[in-house]
Amino acid sequence: MLVKRMLLIGVFLGLAVGGWGCAPAIIGVDAGVYHMGKLYGVSGRDLNTVYDATLAAMGELELEVKEKAKDVFSAKVVAKSADGKRIKVRIKPGGEGRTKFSIKVGKTGERRRSEVIYEKIRQNLAMGTSK
């Protein structure tokens, strides 16, 4: 009985620890999911287009861009809100014409703000807005 209980506890601990810090494995194109303090998204557009849509979204939401960087391997945009929250968007090519990106607001993540930023990026991608 004790062996069964210990095995069961081990399985649950393994499942709990296995999920920490990992991005969700499956996200469809033009979709997003919030997990562990970050909103993960996938777009059917290229890295440059997602980067431009992100910069445009930051401007439209009146978020001050503090840092931006881009090359062929990845891009990032770091902004600050009026109340001092740090917003970080990381963008990477995902293969098969897809681009993966993540949005994190603050130190531990804020779901609602992440969703607002994600929606603004999606709107800009749909409209083909670029900066």
Put the strands of the sheet holding 75-80 in their side by side order.
31-35, 38-43, 98-105, 86-95, 75-80, 64-70
String of DSSP letters for 7-23: HHHHHHHHHHHHTTTPP
Long-range contacts (CB closer than 8 Å, 24 or more residues apart) made by 69-78: 72/47, 74/47, 75/47, 75/50, 75/51, 77/51
pTM strictly above 0.85: no
pLDDT per residue over 90-125, tens digit each? 999 988 889 999 999 999 999 999 999 999 999 999
First to last CA, the chain: 64
pLDDT per residue over 71-98, tens digit each? 999 999 999 999 999 999 999 998 888 9
pLDDT per residue over 4-51, tens digit each? 554 445 544 444 444 444 555 545 567 789 999 999 999 999 999 999
Provide the 3-class DSSP secondary structure of residue 52: helix
> Longest C-alpha distance within the chain, in Å?
64
What is residue 113's DSSP assignment? H
Going along the chain from its start, the domains and CATH numbers come out as 27-127 (3.30.310.220)
Q: What is the mean pLDDT of the chain?
A: 84
Phi, psi of 98 (to 5 degrees): -110, 155
Element (H, E) at 117: helix 111-127
